[in-house]
Chain A
């Protein structure tokens, strides 16, 4: 039987969800307008007042929040409560500029715990389970989010944090971890390291995994599930909105249920800003409607995805969003063609290659070049150079037919491509534009 953490919310009627959203949106907009001068300015510039927002039908009238707004107001400019009410700060890694600081009140942490608890329960975890959290603990939201969720359901949180893979394996074996939480690339790395160390998988209790914080493909999921003998669930979130648990995958593993009682999702055309109907692909935008300290409105995530309100077999009525195809920031434009690293990953895994790859983009004589470096696996290895030449040609043709651009394939020795313990660095763009 399907288990829920907050059944009355997770399976609420559409009308009920909309009623919650209407009331909470109106309240949040009013509070933000009164307490965040920057938002007041944005709304005034757009000619919108809180009085214009009476329901979620009016959401489109509000201005978007961009990452640049967060930089302009760094560090606390968008906080909607006095610092005395803030009990915790987190920050995004800041790989694309200044880091982003998120504040949480006690109530915000409470919501966060529930959101992550929903994920854990949807993945089948119970209070008997030991939750091995290998997301980094620190300013990064991954570790603390799942930690809160694990404790919320009464399970045992094991705060292993990231890194020291040998110790991760020891703990998996000795502590009998039931669920593993980390980035999918790190899960894969742990799995490989276990294989190498000849760990007897029948002695590993692990039943499920909750993986997120970077885009990953269905093929990657299959690999992880096969190697670790678990069911792998995708969790989505971002520091700007809360951290992990903004949306979560149920047993159906076909999209992530958005915690709509706390976050309103929209899909928009990234060029025009127009809201797109259900089923159309576009940029995902979130509005926080219950958060106190850092409630962003219409935040442009840069993630490309689709939403679906089709009835889910798990019984949850919360809208589902697709696995993001990749952040629009990750999208590469190569000779005018849009290329997502996730497309390359799909091809590699389908053809039996390792999920350890690196994409190198460069510009030679004013022409973009795309190189895909992939590690040789046992399955593709051969003792003859001619076989490698054939494999190289096959792979480069498969990439070309899917991406529409030429890709140079380079085989690398096993283990020679850097493994990530946090978010994987898949793309090296050497172009100086």
Chain B
């Protein structure tokens, strides 16, 4: 883990969010960075196995029940969340979560249809 952080630091890559999944034998570290391709390249040349995956960023009202509302929508639509990153509020009244699901297009449609805003790279302050 410190190795990964150092490799990224040496290449001037800023980590915006991370989550760790532990299996019994090794870990999966998931990162949100600005230049994913560059991060992949530098990590791979240091011997790490890396893949880039599409995730969905969601704007959540920073109030009690804000997250529950979003999750309820996904639950009702039977969208399975593989894992999630949580983000600190960057704007006033807003929090962000990032989710990994099977079908990004469909999930984005469902959220938008229910009045939930999905964010783009530009919303994330790098």
> Which A residues contact B (CB, under 8 angstroms)?
196-198, 373, 376-378, 381-386, 388, 410-416
Contacts and interface: CB of A to CB of B under 8 A. Distances in A.
A385 B28 contact: yes
Interface residues of B, number: 20
Dominant secondary structure at the B interface = loop
Given A198-B45, A384-B100, A386-B82, A412 B53 contact: no
A357 B51 CA distance: 22
B30 A383 contact: yes
B122 to A, nearest CB: 23
Interface of B: 21, 23-28, 30, 44-51, 53, 82-83, 100
A201 to B, nearest CB: 15
Contacts of A373: 25
B82 A378 contact: no
Given A411-B26, A416-B26, A384 B51 contact: no
A411 B25 contact: yes
Contacts, number: 52
A384 B19 CA distance: 11
A394 B82 CA distance: 20
- Identify the 10 closest CB pairs spanning chains A and B, nearest first: A413-B26, A384-B82, A381-B49, A414-B49, A383-B53, A410-B25, A385-B21, A415-B47, A378-B49, A381-B51
Contacts of B30: 383
Contacts of A415: 47
B26 A196 contact: no
Contacts of A383: 28, 30, 51, 53, 82-83, 100
Contacts of B48: 414
A376 B26 contact: yes
Contact of A414 (B23, B47, B53): B47
Contacts of A412: 25-26
Contacts of B45: 196-198
A377 B49 contact: yes
